[in-house]
């Protein structure tokens, strides 16, 4: 372990604890007790909330905006892959060259997707009106993270830069827009609870 490892480890722990706190607070039912007689149950609806309800077959924001939705899915896959690579690099595991090239290819698709979304945020009037500095910065932070992760596969000497960059990103996650990493899960769970309790999700076509 060198100094960069320690910096990354510290940032990861801070990010993890802050995010965990946010998640616990978000899912805490105290104060949100429901006294109404339920018509359904939460768990199947929560599963539905994370699966079919998110699919382009059901979700208008997906099927009416298929290119954006697809780019969004791709770059999120890329981001999680980068976090996995970061962990791999942290423990000092050497990625075999051929697998490295495959990862770089996947990452290239992800980077193109996130850059496309970034450009859309800048040039599309509707997206621009929705955005604040934090939105652009968060987007930019993830582009940088993916690009450096990708380059670090090809160039070992970039690992210190990757560790420092990732540390900054991890420390920013609980503060700005990137906290949706946690709140996305909380929101889907809350939505599942709500529609499940009321018997709306999962859909029961022609059944009463």
Instruction: Decide if residue 26 touches another protein (CB under 8 A).
Output: yes
Shortest Cβ distance from residue 94 to another protein (Å)? Answer: 36
Binding string, residues 130-149; x marks residues near another protein by CB under 8 A: xxxxxx-x------------
Q: Could you tell me if 139 and 79 are in contact, meaning their C-beta atoms sit under 8 angstroms apart?
A: no
Which residues between 167 and 186 bind another protein (CB under 8 A)? 175-177, 179-180, 183-184, 186
Residue 129 CB neighbours (<10 A): 7
Binding string, residues 96-135; x marks residues near another protein by CB under 8 A: -----------------------------xxx-xxxxxxx
Main-chain phi, psi angles of 52, to 5 degrees = -55, -35
| 32 versus 99: smaller Cβ distance to another protein | 32
Q: Could you tell me if 163 and 7 are in contact, meaning their C-beta atoms sit under 8 angstroms apart?
A: yes
Residue of the chain from 21, 34, 154, 155 that contacts another protein (CB under 8 A): 34
How far is the CA of 8 from the CAs of 2, 92, 94, 95, in angstroms?
10, 13, 18, 20
Judged by CB under 8 A, the number of residues near another protein is: 61
Residue of the chain from 1, 2, 30, 94 that contacts another protein (CB under 8 A): 30
CA–CA dist 190, 158 (Å, integer): 41
Instruction: Decide if residue 51 touches another protein (CB under 8 A).
Output: no
Instruction: Decide if residue 1 touches another protein (CB under 8 A).
Output: no
**204 in helix, strand or coil?**
coil
**Which residue is it, tokens 């990757």?**
162
Calculate Rg over the CA atoms of the chain: 20
Residue of the chain from 9, 47, 56, 72 that contacts another protein (CB under 8 A): 72
C-alpha 91, offset from chain centre: 23
Nearest to 79 by CA among 181, 163, 152, 175: 181
- Reported in sequence order, the residue ranges of 133-194 that DSSP labels E, i.e. its strands, are none
Residue of the chain from 68, 83, 100, 161 that contacts another protein (CB under 8 A): 68
Interface positions with another protein (CB under 8 A): 22, 25-37, 39-40, 49, 53, 59-62, 64-65, 68-69, 72, 125-127, 129-135, 137, 175-177, 179-180, 183-184, 186-188, 190-191, 194-195, 198-200, 203-208
């Amino acid at each position: 372990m060198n100094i960069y490892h320690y910096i990354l480890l510290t940032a990861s722990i801070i990010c993890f604890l802050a995010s965990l706190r946010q998640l616990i607070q978000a899912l805490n039912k105290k104060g949100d007790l429901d006294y109404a007689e339920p018509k359904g149950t939460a768990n199947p609806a929560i599963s539905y909330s994370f699966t079919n309800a998110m699919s382009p077959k059901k979700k208008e924001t997906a099927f009416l905006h298929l290119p954006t939705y697809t780019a969004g899915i791709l770059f999120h896959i890329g981001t999680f892959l980068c976090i996995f690579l970061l962990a791999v690099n942290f423990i000092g595991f050497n990625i075999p060259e051929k697998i490295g090239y495959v990862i770089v290819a996947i990452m290239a698709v992800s980077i193109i997707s996130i850059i496309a979304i970034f450009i859309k945020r800048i040039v599309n009037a509707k997206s621009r009106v929705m955005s604040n500095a934090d939105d652009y910065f968060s987007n930019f932070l993830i582009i940088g993270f993916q690009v450096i992760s990708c380059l670090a596969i090809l160039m070992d000497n970039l690992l210190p830069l990757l560790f420092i960059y990732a540390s900054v990103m991890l420390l920013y996650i609980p503060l700005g827009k990137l906290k949706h990493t946690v709140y996305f899960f909380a929101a889907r769970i809350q939505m599942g609870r709500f529609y499940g309790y009321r018997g709306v999700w999962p859909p029961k076509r022609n059944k009463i």
